[in-house]
Structure 1
Amino acid sequence: MRNSAFTSAMVIVLVVSAVAGAAGAVTAQNTEQAASVSFSGGTSGGSTVVVDEVRVPDGGFVTIHDDTLTDGDVLGSVVGTSAYLEAGTHENVTVELTDGIDTGTFHAMAHRDTDGDRAYTFVSSNGEVDGPYTVDGEIVMENVEVTASATVEASDQPTEGSSVVVDRVELSEGGFVTVHDSSLADGAVFESIRGTSGYLEAGVHEDVRVRLDDPLAENDSLFAMAHQDTNDNEAYDFPATEGESDGPYLDGDDEIVMAGFDAQLDEEARATFEAQASGGNAVVVDEVYLPDGGFVTMHDSSLADGAVFESIRGTSDYLEPGIHRDVVVSLDEPLTDDDSLFAMAHRDTNDNETYDFPATEGEADGPYTTDSGDIVMDDGAVTVSAGVAFDGQTVDGTTVTVDRVDVSEGGFVTIHDASLAGGAVFDSVRGTSEYLEPGVHEDVVVELDDPIRDTHQLIAMPHTDSDDDRVYDFVETEGESDGPYVDGDEEIVMADATVQLTAFVEAADQETDGETVVVEDVTLHDGGFVTVHDSSLADGAVFESIRGTSDYLQPGTHTAVEITLDDPLTEDDTVLAMAHRDTNDNEAYDFPATDGASDVPYVAAGSPVMSPAELTIPGDDGMDGEDMDGEDANDDETMDGGDGMDAGEMNDEGEMNDEGEMSDDGEMNDDGEMGDDGETSDEATADGTTGDDTPGFGVVVALVALIAGALVARRRS
């Protein structure tokens, strides 16, 4: 097993240097200069903005605030924050936004990392940490107009003529990307259209394949143009309506948002396969171009010895004609030792979209070849260790999902926060998966030991199980056991991602009188409410399940939020404390009154941000009157007045024993039990309520509750 001989000191140095290297270079180091920000704004696709330059002498962040900042909304105005920036000057810093934005004025502000954890916690700390840089008493920031529209990126590429791939499309309100040919430059607005993507939701889309309705017959300069969905029908109607609907997105200068690229007709396939670490169960082919469609097959090094069929380790699914990037190929026969693998482009000669090359002994689905007769393939060294894929996501603060983990000898995937790059090898650990058997694991959910309350840069790192006990001991042994997997260059195998968070809720199990619920911890980045739903929510009763809602909560963190229930609980239940936005900015909860049109829940990974809590109502034991007739009770539980009465049972005269709260004369004591005169104590008023305005028990109700409690206790014993 690799790295099993590392000492803890070596592991610490290895991890810190690896993460620091992955963080990227600072363009200029000059910590003596004052902090500064340069922000030209321009056009955004609604999900990201780019800050031209930021200087942070002591390290920190650049944060984007919307214009509510000028109204004093210091916390709620935050709409996005960069990853941690090392001390120095950084250019073209991309900031991912937590929510889509509208056109308006935005402020790029330089923030410190006052607590040294490399995570921006200004909002969740209610402004107590990570405040802004100042120069001569003025906050370091620059404001500018940003147009929320779209951005498009496309690169030159080969094509067989029937499709092209647009590298990246970012849309603020959803729509399409349309490919126009070069006749667009001559004014052929509609005639130049060659093809359009399917409907794209608002957000970022990468490697968007556009099939050309009118295939290319020659090389051409093409334009990838972002189009709106102005009639909200998710169908591209621009040419059919002669431009009345679904027109192009425009930037801040009223120019069409588009990107030009050259498409070259090419009948020769190609493949690119870089050296990589793998758990031996899957590999990733960087890029393959198949002019007629087909497959990419992985052969091991025995191919060089003539083992044409025996060398096959795995094959991709069928790939349609064109370029494909980051193709994951599962290996039917896993690698157990480091080896050089060959990514070979294969045809689909019988057009059945099934790889039949070995089954037909080479008669069908043979490899693509070059004009000179050479097989199209590329080789790369594969180190048998581990592989991991970890994409950006929205979270509720309690868990994150690692897209794919491939471990050769079993182990774990551990989530580290950004403090890892600062040397916090052990303190940066936020959570670890259960033990993972050798093989590929997809969508691995990792529960965080310490929840996060802000957007974070997190690192997914596969770890070995070096002591074979199926327990993650890396932190406890200070790196002696269960160290990280490493690749062929002895570098840590890991992947980082931005994890977006806009709300966090934590509710604990509690005993309640049914009138109130206390939510322990709430962080709302845009302010809003916390609503308590009862368990009927699980049955689809979205509005009927609402029992109560908090007052309006300002952006930031709130603790011990007490919610009065409009519809009190009368029995034990599992409730859900759900975070809601204030979408109409009136600080009143309008979700049920508007049938869900306003004040919708905060959402993470497609689900509402909420926390369950078991509520216990004192005296509620789940029994009703039908359970008290004695007919269903066993011999030990019947009310037959026999000898041997246990505590809490009645004697022959119908009186409770010494421990059963009823005195010899059938009266209740001063603690709310029967008194000497047969009345309740002076803590209960004549109208049946207690002195502190909580509901009181009548004599019969109290007696039934006591009996029921005794029966429940007997059953449990």
Structure 2
Amino acid sequence: MSQDPVDSPQRRRLLAGLGTGVVAYGAGVSATAAQSDEFDEISVRLNNIATNAWEVTEASDDEFAETGVGNPELTFRVGSRYTIQNNGWSAHPLEFRDSDGDPLLSQSAQGSYEGDSETNWVDNETSVSFTVTSELAAELSSYICTVHSSMEGTIRTIDQTGTDGPADVTMSDQSTDGTSVVVDSVRLDEGGFVTIHDSSLTNGATLESVRGTSEYLEVGSVQDLEVELDDPLTSGDTLIAMAHRDSNDNETYDFVSSGGNADGPYSFDGNAVIDDADVQINTSAAVKIDDQQSDGTSVTVDFARLDDGGFVTIHDSTLLDGDALGSVRGTSQYFDSGTQEEFTVELDEALTETETVIAMPHRDTNGNQTYDFVSSEANNDGPYTDDDGAITDSAEVQVGDAVEASVTFPRQATASPTFTQDEATSPGVSVAVSSNVESAVVVTYEDGENLVIAGLGVFGADELGGENPVTIAVEDAGGFPGSHTAHAIPTSDLSGEYAPGDTVSMDTAGAVADNDTAVVHQATLTFEDQTSDSPVESGDTVATVDSSLTGDVTYTVDVHVTDDEGGLVAAEWIGSTNVLSGDNEGSEIIAERTPSDGEFNELPFSGTDTFVAMIHLATDASAGDAATPGTGPVVPNIDGESGAVPGGITATAELTAEMDDGGDDGGMDGGDDGGMDGGSDDGDSGGSDDGSSDDGGPGFGPIAGVAGLGGLATYAYRKLNLDSEPATPEDDGLDEDDE
């Protein structure tokens, strides 16, 4: 049946005041729309095409059916009264049926609505008359000739105005054990969910009233939809079924976890599409157990209600073969009457492989608070039962080692300059993750109360040893630069498919195995070629640099020297700025030879050479303080495609210092050009194919051609130490003697 939104005081109520996000729901429900006089009484003439099909030849409502075609779809308006002239009634009795094929109204059988006073069924043989109530509309599915099965067509229902809303939901009064409810029908024109609210919704408890939500529903209609309640009922209540959109297209219900900003309700004429029902508890016990992973020695039961007290017993799947006693694997402690949530049942006989287990509430029939069902051979402490037998719930328990995961997410930068390429690094972060199961590494930022996904990736356990960090591209930059959190989540525990920009659901957030938070910076660094008109002495200005680093943090720009072949010398500096913060222009690099016995950083300096400017943190200093080169840790610079780039945030420049007239060039390496690198007369930095250095240090290859950086990668992992907090020169493994 195609069921469109209905206005009726008995079935359809539209909760007023709802927009697309969380707004004031109001304390009551909106008034029923006034019916249209035009459609109070509708007359129809129905004929037969031999014994093959029905045909509508005349109707006072143009929307009722297409005339002149066989077995057309009939459209009934809720609240209207129909008189249908059946020209062939004696050979072709007319019957209206529900989706199960049972008669609702019939000219040849007893229909279930024929005694309903509001429907007011009248059969005059040549014609029938009846009123389409909302209850009848909820069940109407087809019409048929009870003699000729080929004469059958479908039915849809609409409200009296004929307006089709984007969704519809109907739910009947019912009795349940409290762990689930059944929604009679739902139609979602754009897919989504059906959420069950308790009656506190009418008092404005928008989010707190949510008791459970369906799985994601594709576009279309569903009949007899069972919705499990995450928060089971323990007493009767009026429940409200509400149609919700999947506004962020991740097939995960995020309305509550997003604070109402995602997956809002479908609305029709400005009101949420809902239906309500009186739901009563009809059992003396209930139990709920979800699929889970276990080491095999215990299982977790989500919920149990024992009105007379007792136990919850865990059976293995041999119970399904009739082994009531031998299937018992473990039993809870004795519980007094009432409800229990999230409790563990230790198993007397451990599970050794994935198994279906059955949780079963048992009475304490002999009142000794000891479980005697097995020892008494089922004579004592039998199970709670209902009309269908023992009350149970089942779950699949995957047996394996418990999830062990750790996440280390150090302070770092991205979208920042590097001497390894012309452009800044593409946005991304580096996270060290150790996990013994396949896991999603999800990087989020906070947007109000929501966790929004900046980027994510899925990795096998063999890729998550913790030694080699994984790189996650940042595709949603709404929180960049700023604080981000990296989460390790077993893929088996993800509540749905996620993409950057999505909001993390409460279920997924609850499945996080470990996480860590770090500030992700963005930097700029401009280091241009410069010339001094005299040799540079200790304490002089070597050059100037423009720089910026986001966040409330202080830093320095230190200048490294290069070796005879143009490779960066990681542990030798020629100077540093004072301590900086934020944006700075024209910061002076003050010459200071560090270490004082370095091989390539002699002062005074004259001639031409290539230098590398690099941003270092100054964690315990204030802006304006004097700084010594190399005393602060490097800020890792992450490229979203290739990972950590060598050297962190870097830029290169050629610096020239004019020689004294007629004097020695004062160069650091004694080369012909007075430069630091002993290169050719034109000041070219030179270099070797393999990027090695003659001094046994971490030769990084030619600065001018960094595609093959040789030992640069070694430097990156030794210097940046991405598994932990950024290293300082004292603990980065680059001893001066080794350089």
Structure number with higher strand proportion:
2
Give the structure with higher Rg (CA).
2
Give your verdict on TM over 0.5. Answer: no
TM-score calculated relative to the size of structure 1: 0.35
TM-score calculated relative to the size of structure 2: 0.34
